[in-house]
Chains A and B, each alone.
Chain A
Amino acid sequence: MDATLADLIGLVYTIATLALVAAGLALVFGLMRVINLAHGEFIVLGGYATIVGVQHGINVWLCILVVAPLAVGLFGLIVEWLVIRRLYGRMIDTMLATWGLSLVMTGGFSMIFGSTTTGVSNPLGAVSIGSIQLGGYSLFVIAITVLLFVAAALLLRHTRAGLIVRAAMQSGDVAAVLGHDPRRIYQLTFVVGSMVSGLAGGVLAPLTGLAPSSGAQFIAKAFITVIGGGASVVSGTLAASVLFGTVAKVFELLATPMVGEIALLVAAVVLLRVLPQGITSRWLKGWA
């Protein structure tokens, strides 16, 4: 019974990590139809920002929750201005350019930080629930992810800004005619998306060692989750995370973590074959 509870929490944790990693990309893709293939490196940048912050004596929680998002948000602003905005509407070109950006960032990381793995120590110890030991930090990750998605859903559905964003998602022209500059909306979206990626990187920094090439492990899963989810940012990402996370965890428990990873990828291919436009092209439409 306790083992099942541990597994269940492990499942929620897997889903949460997937959703957290995909969130930034989902926001940008859902609104702008931009696929940022450097997304993994944005997350890694958040991680490095956290590490650097901690090295300079800033409180680790501050680094994770404030420094990382701000740093990557700023970086995102620069990238949007230099590259992304020149390629609006050209999806394939954006994918190619951002792939180039990911190479630039990976190369940059190794030039600046060296190719050794660094990290931040886990700031939370183990927590006991009943007779099982859980990583306290895992619970933190789950909590942050839930907060993030709830905040996103509330913002999109119940605020004026959210309404404008959703309108622009449907039609940039209509939003423009109503007086809202779509370019500003896109710029803001990309920056917010970058900040979310930075947050993810900060949150995940204490868990995994960071190396310049760490981005690759994030982009594939994020990419698949976002495409699998479909056009709706919040509901799509959550649905896809639940689906893929469950598949991965189940196969991990049945076999090995590697099998779980591969099962996730296979599930993605199958899903896209059946629902080429993602889950939310058929179900949970219009939930934002």
Chain B
Amino acid sequence: MGKARVFGWGFGAAAAALLLAPFLFSDYTLTLLCVQALLALSLAFVWGVGGILCFGQAAFYGLGAYGYAVCSLNGADAGVCVLGGVAAATLFAVALGAMMFYGRIGDVYLGVVTLVATLILYKYMNSTAGSEYAIGSARLGGFNGIPGFTPLYVPGRPDWPITGTALYALVALSLLGCWALCRWLMQRPFGRVLAGTRENELRAELLGYDVRWVRLLAFALGGALAGLAGVFYAVWAELVTPELFSLGTSADAIIWVLVGGLGGLAGPIAGAMALGALKGLLGAQQMVSSLFVFGALLIGVVLFLPRGLAPMLVAGVARLRAPRGAAHTTHTAASGEAER
């Protein structure tokens, strides 16, 4: 049961860190970092556990954000808006996933299709300037996006807004909750079967598992989580633009997961927060382009640290703590590390 204890400590430490962080950093920035961490978590689950390389996680992120904005401008209650955003993202994930998995397309082609799907959304949203592009009373606004929707409030009580520190608390708690949910799922039969399909698709089929259905469920969950992240982004930024659908956003998610450590959940979450902070710092200066740094980081990780930073750090800590020969135990148990 070593892994459960490790998780317990890690989770506890993370919760404590999130609790104390607002005393050190602005909760405005922290909220964004948590949103990005949630996006990273969604991809970490789909890719790390499910083995599905999605180049377009941004699609669900953007749909969640736009979904919230559109619902809000059409006068819906905040709770409905949140559900609307998540639903939009999830439905798209189900549709796209069904088409891909039931078409039995392979690895690379999955990447292409998800890339193209995001691109389609990006191009489309960028072209929606003009009053004829509207859903109800919400104009899509082309590349300027949708501003001016109501910030989040307690469902049913528009006079109780959730902003600032309260929003941070909500997002941080949601992040922790979703993380725990994913972790729980990984130990359940569903998660174990999903890991099996990742390791050897043919073998899983030959045992009797409908790999298409298992993947669809995982993909839909990933879409829902990314959609929730998108909803939180919308209420944090109070503006949604087509940039949310860009290749840049998808690339960010991939870099966070890879650097954090493909196969785990904690690594990508930490990776997203650390790299998000790094990007913020880089953005503040003009000398070195942040794209340059992140690109180099991605190349470096692929070439030299294919398992990401987190496993290296964990192994390093384990070596410091345990006596020699105890390293074997890290290989046991229900959820194996993913190979790319």
Contact residues in A for B116 (Cβ distance below 8 Å): 220, 224, 265, 268-269
**B295 neighbours in A (Cβ, 8 Å):** 99-107
Which residues of the other chain, A, contact B255 by a CB distance below 8 angstroms? Answer: 100
Bound-complex Cα distance A35 to B55 (A): 14
Chain A, interface residues (CB within 8 Å), range: 35 or more
CB pair B99 A273 closer than 8 Å: yes
Q: Is the CB of B108 within 8 A of A91?
A: yes
Q: Is B104 an interface residue (CB 8 A)?
A: yes
**Is the CB of A92 closer than 8 A to any CB of chain B?**
yes
Most interface-central of A35, A90, A97, A104 (chain B CB within 10 A): A104
A35, B108: Cβ atoms closer than 8 Å: yes
Tell whether, in the assembled complex, residue B302 and residue A96 are in contact, meaning their CB atoms are under 8 Å apart: yes
Give the chain B neighbours of A266 by CB distance below 8 A.
120
Contact with B along A253-280 (1 / 0, CB 8 A): 0001010011001101100110010000
Q: Give chain B nearest CB distance to A112 CB in angstroms.
A: 10
Are the CB atoms of A107 and B108 closer together than 8 Å?
A: no
Indicate whether B299 reaches chain A with its CB closer than 8 angstroms: yes
Q: Which residue of chain A lies nearest to B299 when distances are taken between CB atoms in the complex? A: A100
Asked if A134 lies at the interface with its beta carbon under 8 angstroms from chain B, I say no
Q: In the complex, A28 Cα to B106 Cα: how many Å?
A: 20
Main secondary structure of the interface of A (DSSP, over half): helix
- Show 29 residue pairs from A and B whose CB-CB distance is below 8 angstroms, ordered by the A residue: A83-B303, A87-B303, A93-B302, A96-B258, A96-B302, A99-B254, A100-B294, A100-B298, A101-B295, A101-B299, A103-B291, A103-B292, A103-B294, A103-B298, A106-B289, A106-B292, A107-B288, A107-B289, A107-B290, A107-B291, A111-B288, A220-B247, A227-B109, A258-B124, A258-B126, A262-B120, A265-B116, A269-B113, A272-B113
- Report how far A262 CA is from B119 CA in the complex, Å: 9
Cβ of A13 within 8 Å of any chain B Cβ, yes or no, is no
A92 touches B299 (CB 8 A): no
Asked if B105 CB lies within 8 Å of chain A CBs, one says yes
Alpha-carbon separation in the docked complex, A266 to B119 (Å): 10
Q: How far is the CA of A100 from the CA of B304 in the complex (A)?
A: 14
Asked if A89 is at the interface (CB within 8 A of a chain B CB), the reply is: no
Contacts of A103 in B (CB 8 A): 251, 291-292, 294-295, 298
Q: Is A56 an interface residue (CB 8 A)?
A: no
Kindly supply a per-residue 1/0 record for chain A positions 222-266, scoring 1 wherever the CB is within 8 Å of any chain B CB and 0 otherwise. Answer: 011001000000000000000000000000000010100110011
Nearest CB in chain B: distance from A26 CB, A:
14
Tell whether B237 is near chain A: CB-to-CB under 8 Å.
Answer: no
Does A164 touch B at the CB level, under 8 Å?
Answer: no
B120 CB contacts on chain A under 8 angstroms: 262, 265-266, 269
- Interface contacts beyond A273-B99, A273-B103: sample of 18 additional A-B pairs, CB < 8 Å, sorted by A: A83-B299, A93-B306, A100-B299, A100-B300, A103-B292, A103-B295, A104-B292, A104-B296, A106-B292, A110-B291, A111-B288, A111-B292, A223-B112, A224-B116, A227-B109, A261-B123, A268-B116, A276-B106
Chain B residues within 8 Å of A227, by CB:
108-109, 112
B-side contacts of A104, CB under 8 Å: 291-292, 295-296, 299
Q: Is the CB of B109 within 8 A of A276?
A: yes
Interface of B, helix, strand, loop or mixed by DSSP: helix
Q: Is B330 an interface residue (CB 8 A)?
A: no
Whether B289 contacts A111 by the Cβ 8 Å rule is yes
A219, closest chain B residue (CB): B247
Interface residues of A (CB under 8 A from B): 35, 83, 86-87, 90-93, 95-97, 99-108, 110-111, 216, 220, 223-224, 227, 256, 258, 261-262, 265-266, 268-269, 272-273, 276
- Give the one of B99, B103, B119 with max A CB within 10 A: B119
From the candidates B107, B123, B292, name the one contacting A107 in the complex (CB within 8 A): B292
**Does B127 count as interface, using CB distance less than 8 angstroms?**
yes
**Nearest-Cβ distance from residue A160 to partner chain B, whole angstroms:** 32
B294, chain A: closest CB distance, angstroms? 6
Q: Chain A residues near B202 (CB, 8 Å)? A: none
B154 at the binding interface (Cβ < 8 Å)? no
CA distance A238 to B295 in the complex (A): 32
Docked CA distance A59–B294 (Å):
37
Query: Considering only CB atoms, which chain A residue lies closest to B108 in the complex?
Result: A91
Across the two chains, which residue of chain B brings its CB closest to A110? B289
B91 within 8 A of A: no
Distance in angstroms from B122 CB to nearest chain A CB is 9
Chain B: minimal CB distance from A186 (Å): 17
Give the residue of B105, B300, B340 whose beta carbon is less than 8 angstroms from that of A273.
Answer: B105
Find chain B residues with CB under 8 A from A86 CB: 303
Once the chains bind, are B104 and A276 in contact (CB under 8 Å)? yes
Give, as a whole number of angstroms, the nearest-CB distance from B268 to chain A: 15
Nearest B-chain residue to A221, judged by Cβ: B119
Contact digits for B237-263, partner A, Cβ 8 Å, 1 yes 0 no: 000000000010001001100100000
